[in-house]
Amino acid sequence: MSAQSSEPTIASLRDISGDGAGDALARYWTFYWAVAAAQLTRWLPRRPSRVLDISGGHSAAQAAEARHTVLEIRDPGRTEAPAAPRGAPPAKGATIPLVGDTGTLAYLAGGSMDAVIAENRVLSRHLATEATVAEIARVLRPGGRVLLCVDSLTLGMALLAERNYWAHLSDVPSAEVVLIPWPDGTITRSFSAHQLRELLAEAGLEVEWIRPRTVLSPSTVEHVLADSPRT
């Protein structure tokens, strides 16, 4: 008799586009990105503004649709524009693509942006997160805002446990920086709420809120949406 876990592996959740996860996670990623889009809609400035997007996802198109002028930084290895979601209305603002390093923003003037979007786990992929956040704070005008998304410490610890990295896991409580090795050889950085709050405060940013994107597991979302796809 064979058995298979109903829950996808933690490592499979790295492919947040859902392309590498197969049909098993299709509904989950639809749900995940719908939540992300709703959060971005609520967060975006009400008046047309200058927005910097270093996310490398669909955030720039959504911000442009909301009448903002968006400077979209694309890493040299990811110069192609993300495909627009199906049925997306034409942008009412403007998106200005710029190929550059999203980790160092020295090519931008200080205080030149009204808002910065650092979605799509981009700050977890930049291991020297302090330097990137300091640059974000520099280019923001006084009173500007940042929306960012990072890997949680819970996700990092779950991946270490899944891969039987018990020695690494035992070091987490005392570690100032938690780096997570993924099966494909990449390394990302995970944060507790306290670590993230402290990092942002050191850059001179005032934290409004820190919350999980969703508390629902992929299997729960898949089950609910399979039974009630219009939910």
CATH of the domain at 40: 3.40.50.150
Residue 114 belongs to a domain: yes
d(Cα 146, Cα 102) in Å, to the nearest integer?
A: 15
Residue 159 belongs to a domain: no
| Residue 146 predicted with pLDDT over 60 | yes
pLDDT at residue 4 in the model? 47
Give percent of the chain above pLDDT 90: 54
pLDDT at residue 65 in the model? 94
* C-alpha separations of 145 from 24, 121, 137 in Å: 36, 17, 9
Residue 168 belongs to a domain: no
Torsion angle, CA of 145/180/83/103, rounded to 10 degrees? 50
Average predicted confidence (pLDDT) for the chain: 85
pLDDT tens, 64-83?
999 999 999 998 876 555 55
| Residue 122 predicted with pLDDT over 80 | yes
CA 220 to chain centre: 22
| SS3 state at 20 | coil
Look at residues 17, 62, 15, 28 and name the one whose alpha carbon lies nearest to residue 214.
28
| Residue 174 predicted with pLDDT over 60 | yes
Residue 184 belongs to a domain: no
Q: Is 163 left (phi over 0), alpha (psi -120 to 50) or beta?
A: alpha
pLDDT at residue 45 in the model? 95
Number of domains in the chain: 1
pLDDT confidence bin for 167, thresholds 50/70/90: confident
Residue 172 belongs to a domain: no
| Residue 231 predicted with pLDDT over 60 | no
| Residue 13 predicted with pLDDT over 80 | no
Residue 80 belongs to domain spanning: 11-150+193-226
Residue 2 belongs to a domain: no
pLDDT confidence bin for 16, thresholds 50/70/90: low
Residue 15 belongs to a domain: yes
d(Cα 75, Cα 213) in Å, to the nearest integer?
A: 25
pLDDT at residue 18 in the model? 43
Residue 62 belongs to a domain: yes
Q: Which helix (H) or strand (E) holds 23?
A: none
